[in-house]
Amino acid sequence: MQRSTLKAWFLVHKWTSLVCTLFLLLLCVTGLPLVFWEEISHLTGAEAEVAPAPPGMQAANVDDLVTKALAQYPGDVPLFFGWDDHSPSVYVNTGARPDTPPPEMHTAVMHQYTGEVLPVAQFNEGVMYFLYRLHTDVFVGLPGMLFLGAMALLFAVAIVSGLVLYGPFMRKLSFGTLRTGRSRRLAWLDLHNVLGIVTLGWAFVVGITGAINTLAQPLEQAWQSEQLGEFARRYEGRPRPERLASLDAAIATARAAEPGMTPAFVSFPGTGYSGDHHYGVFMHGDTPLTERLYRPVLIDAETGELTARPQLPGYMTTLLLSQPLHFGDYGGLPLKFLWALLDLLTIAVLVSGLYLWFKRGSTDTRIAEIERSGLPENGLAHARNAGAAS
């Protein structure tokens, strides 16, 4: 690789890494407990144990469950109704108005068969929710999401530029070499090299899926405008219905329309997911992949009749698949432990990169030393100073 090309890639890697490192550390540290959100909720009692369904007992009427949830929060309106795929429990989100944002919602969790209201903490309260907001939008909403998405993209550029530089910088050393007997900085550099290349593929995937996830709100709004807008125009000028048809019957209609799928959640009119005049019954499959891919069934909320079964566009499918891939929650506890280990190794890469930056020398000196002596330097490091090694 020519000196000018080497220096260009070096500078790209250095500055993209430096700009995003502190924010990536924030994301890695907050993301670690989020991988185990469900398990932590069980251990802390934030998520109640749900008794198995009594043998032969039919599930409770959904309309009765919604009524019971509304009784918990007088004055609220129903927003979402959903099922837990791993226990016989359901949840109802309510709010003061149909467009209530998630931080202001109330949640009632009930046994799907007995109708018992379960003593669980609100999803938008507590330490885990604090970490979730810090991880996703640093408490400033969409601008925070987009900013963190930009940092994730810079991280991806840093990874690619580091991979380009890795070959020339490591050509004279065996993979995994740690030179501990020469200088502290050189030992840190070798450790940074090894951990960086080991976690490279995972870090790139998590960085890209994280960037995609930050676009969730704009993508959902685009889908609502593109597809739901078509159905909303049919009801233009008509007020939102005050008396709603049976939700239980609407769900039965959706099940009949998609017999190979089961309902995941239902959106009520006005929430943005199904327009102002429809229930949106979002169906999904029962495999680790298909349970993430929703098929909306729109039911007229006034008449209970099936209106449409719109296909999700490709960008929404990409979003839905990137979410579980980002947190590693589609393969059970073993995959979560793997995600956690890789997260810790990535934290080590970032910390070692900062150390190398503070112990840096000039760029020209470092590149000249690499070219002259053939000593390996890692493109994944934030600072290179082979000349400092003695």
The DSSP code for 94 is E
pLDDT of amino acid 284: 94
Helix, strand, coil shares, percent, the chain, to 5: 55, 10, 35
* Dihedral of alpha carbons 173, 178, 181, 184, sign: positive
What residues contact residue 176 under an 8 Å CB cut-off, 6+ apart? 194
Decide if 31 contacts 213 (C-beta within 8 A).
Answer: no
CA dihedral 202→205→207→212, nearest 10 degrees, is -160
pLDDT at 181: 67
- Cα gap 235→70, rounded to integer Å: 27
- Higher confidence at residue 312 or residue 78? 78
**Taking 60 as the threshold, does the pLDDT of residue 386 lie above it?**
no
Q: With 60 as the cut, is the pLDDT of residue 389 above it?
A: no
Sign of the Cα torsion 345, 350, 355, 357 reads positive
pLDDT digits (tens, 9 = 90+) for 41-66: 878 776 767 888 888 899 999 999 99
Summarize the confidence of residues 191-220 as an average pLDDT. Answer: 91
Q: Please give the model's pTM, rounded to 2 decimal places.
A: 0.83
Residue 309 has pLDDT above 80, yes or no: yes
Centre a 10 Å sphere on the Cβ of residue 234 and count the other Cβ atoms it contains: 11
